[in-house]
A = this chain, B = another copy of it.
Amino acid sequence: MNVMNDSPRRKELTRQAAQLFVQEGFDRTTVRMLAQEMGIKSGSLFHHFRDKQEILAAVIEEGTQNALMIARDALDNCDSNPEARLHAMARAHLETLLTDRNAHVVALYEWRRLDPEARDHLGHLRDAYETLWEEVLDEALAADLIRGDRFLVSRFVMGALNWTVRWYDPRGERSPEDLARELIAMITHPAR
- Interchain CA distance A112-B106 in the complex, whole Å: 13
**A145-186 CB contact bits vs B (8 Å, 1 = yes)?**
011110011011111111110110000001000010011011
Give A22's nearest chain B residue, CB to CB. Answer: B112
- Interchain CA distance A185-B156 in the complex, whole Å: 12
A27-B28, A113-B25, A160-B156 given; A189·B187 CB < 8 A: no
Q: For this complex, into which size category does the number of interface residues on chain A fall?
A: 20 to 34
- Chain B: minimal CB distance from A113 (Å): 7
- Interchain CA distance A147-B189 in the complex, whole Å: 11
18 A-B residue pairings within 8 Å (CB atoms): A25-B112, A25-B113, A28-B113, A109-B109, A148-B182, A148-B185, A148-B186, A152-B174, A152-B182, A153-B182, A155-B164, A157-B160, A159-B162, A159-B166, A160-B163, A186-B187, A189-B189, A190-B191
